Amino acid sequence: MRFFSIITAVLVMATLYLFVFEREKLVSFAVNLGSGAPVAQGEGQGEANGGPQGDAQAGAATATDAAHSTPAGSDTADQVFSVVVQKSTASDIAAAVLVRGRTEAARQVAVRAETSGQVISDPLRKGTEVTTGQLLCKLDPGTREISLKEAHARLAEAKARVPVSEAQLPEARARLAEARARLNEAEIALRAAQRLSEDGFASESRLAAAQAGYESALAAVESAKAGVANAQSGIQSAQAGVQSAEAAVAAAEREIARLSITAPFGGLLETDTAETGSLLQPGALCATIIQLDPMKLVGFVPETEVSRVTPNARAGARLANGDRVAGKVTFISRSADQNTRTFRIEVQVPNTDLSIRDGQTAEMIIETAGEAAHLLPLSSLTLNDDGDLGVRVVDETSRVRFLPVNVSRDTVDGVWVTGLPEAVDVIVTGQEYVVDGVKVNAVYKESGQ
């Protein structure tokens, strides 16, 4: 019995040797034993199955033999294999960038006091919805109203000084005209005295008197000019007094206006307003208001993806509680974060029902420019000898070519791939049994199969 076991093992080893190392000779020997027309292994089974699928299975069963026995590109009729081919045309698909971020209130402000005073208004509780200009905190005016009345009185007094100052200007100008007339008269008298003195008809005392009269008239003109300038200065001083009094009135009114602390915009109170009786100093907090409609979605995009995001691009988001919202990109930062090297983006979404809260986790998908891609069955993808992912296609000469692809998106209907020509014939069955350059019989797949 042991002898037969050894013989069986030797026969098995010899058979394996022939099938592995002498396969080409065995195939040639089998062909010679036939009727003269070589029949590929599995051909009868393919015909039994019928249709293109049977041809593809027959070609798949013998493609490995062809790769070893026939040089690439051989046109021998008995080495043409059948494969199932799908005609594919590129379509534009919308690409997207996935960003994880959070929700953030559109606006948030801490409303603080600008002056000191005791709160005399009833407080509003947190969560209350307020409108623009609504009173939040009212402060005790104290003596501010009296200061305002005093400022108004000073303004009236300053305005009363203006007509008095303006009335002095014509009088000063009249005096200047009179002084100039006397100066002309004194000048004429001086010239007459000088001529008479030269001819010996006037004494030196008369000439000296005429000279003194001229000097006196000249001084009167200068004094009159100073009076005009003084009158003009008085008018300007009165007008300045009016402006100063008006400023005092405005300051007093502004101080009174600061007693009423109002909401700068509509929103929700995040804190209670200041309690009645509490003393507020300048800078003390009255209340905090947040605006939740519209809501901002804030995320950070890697520097490799930020160039794909454009302003006003459509975006959708899924919140942590499962709610879905949609909006548009409103902001893309031009400066990267120093630590993460990412860029801040903001998406604005409506929140009329205030269902979205500030600080929720959000997963955003931002639409980018479309790209041309082919929708192919996942089974059509294969690897070449270098490990590159791609598909095998049939060219215009019915020969096989390997084309690398990039997977853009995976769907239930197949995968969208890029990197292929606009129109291409992709082998969807039998691609694993053919190599580049092999001539095949392409059986085209009908739509819907």
123 cis-preceded (ω within 30 degrees of 0): no
Tally the C-alpha atoms within 13 A of residue 76's C-alpha that lie toward its C-beta: 10
Reported residue count of the chain is 449
The yes-or-no verdict on residue 410 having pLDDT over 70 is yes
Question: 261 exposed, middle or buried (CB, 10 Å; 0-12, 13-18, 19+)?
Answer: buried
The yes-or-no verdict on residue 61 having pLDDT over 50 is no
Task: Give the pLDDT confidence score for residue 79 in this predicted structure.
Answer: 63
The yes-or-no verdict on residue 289 having pLDDT over 70 is yes
Tally the C-alpha atoms within 13 A of residue 310's C-alpha that lie toward its C-beta: 9
How high is the mean pLDDT of the chain? 84
More confident residue, 316 or 50: 316
Task: Give the pLDDT confidence score for residue 29 in this predicted structure.
Answer: 65
**Interatomic CA distance for residues 399 and 3, integer angstroms:** 53
Q: Which of 272, 277, 278, 41 is nearest to 136 (CA)?
A: 272
Least confident of 148-157, 207-216, 229-238, 259-268: 207-216
Amino acid type, 151:
A
The yes-or-no verdict on residue 344 having pLDDT over 90 is yes
Residues of the chain with CATH 2.40.420.20: 39-90+377-449
State the architecture of 144-257 in CATH terms.
Up-down Bundle (1.20)
Least confident of 60-74, 103-117, 340-354: 60-74
Instruction: Give every CB contact of residue 105 below 8 A, 6+ residues apart in sequence.
Output: 290, 291, 292, 295, 296, 358
Amino acid type, 307:
S
The yes-or-no verdict on residue 320 having pLDDT over 70 is yes
pLDDT confidence tier of residue 4, bands split at 50, 70 and 90? low
pLDDT confidence tier of residue 51, bands split at 50, 70 and 90? very low
The yes-or-no verdict on residue 43 having pLDDT over 90 is no
pLDDT confidence tier of residue 428, bands split at 50, 70 and 90? very high
What's the pTM? 0.54
Least confident of 337-351, 380-394, 408-422: 408-422
The yes-or-no verdict on residue 68 having pLDDT over 70 is no
**Interatomic CA distance for residues 267 and 181, integer angstroms:** 77
The yes-or-no verdict on residue 42 having pLDDT over 90 is no
Task: Give the pLDDT confidence score for residue 399 in this predicted structure.
Answer: 92
Residue owning tokens 């819907």: 448
Amino acid type, 350:
P
Task: Give the pLDDT confidence score for residue 363 in this predicted structure.
Answer: 94
Which secondary structure element, helix H or strand E, spans residue 276, and what is its range? none
What single string gives the DSSP state of each residue in 106-167? EEEEEEE-SS-EEB-SPPPPTT-EE-TT-EEEEB--TTHHHHHHHHHHHHHHHHHHHHHHHH
CATH class, 94-139+264-370 region: mainly beta
Instruction: Give every CB contact of residue 319 below 8 A, 6+ residues apart in sequence.
Output: 103, 325, 356, 360, 361, 362
Q: Does domain 39-90+377-449 have CATH number 3.40.50.720?
A: no
Beta bridge partners of 5: none
**Interatomic CA distance for residues 250 and 256, integer angstroms:** 10
**Interatomic CA distance for residues 42 and 58, integer angstroms:** 5
The yes-or-no verdict on residue 48 having pLDDT over 60 is no
Average pLDDT score over residue span 46-50: 37
Token pair for residue 96? 């997207």
pLDDT confidence tier of residue 6, bands split at 50, 70 and 90? confident
Task: Give the pLDDT confidence score for residue 26 in this predicted structure.
Answer: 65
Task: Give the pLDDT confidence score for residue 313 in this predicted structure.
Answer: 92
The yes-or-no verdict on residue 90 having pLDDT over 50 is yes
pLDDT digits (tens, 9 = 90+) for 359-375: 999 999 998 877 788 99
Residues of the chain with CATH 1.20.120: 144-257
Query: Dihedral (C-alpha) 212, 213, 218, 223: value to the nearest 10 degrees?
Result: 100
The yes-or-no verdict on residue 225 having pLDDT over 50 is yes
Measured between its terminal Cα atoms, the distance across the chain in Å is: 56
Residues of the chain with CATH 2.40.30.170: 94-139+264-370
pLDDT confidence tier of residue 349, bands split at 50, 70 and 90? very high
pLDDT digits (tens, 9 = 90+) for 164-204: 888 888 888 888 898 888 888 888 888 887 877 777 766 77
Q: Where are the beta strands (DSSP E) in 90-179?
A: 91-112, 117-118, 129-130, 135-138
Average pLDDT score over residue span 378-402: 93
Task: Give the pLDDT confidence score for residue 56 in this predicted structure.
Answer: 39
Task: Give the pLDDT confidence score for residue 62 in this predicted structure.
Answer: 42
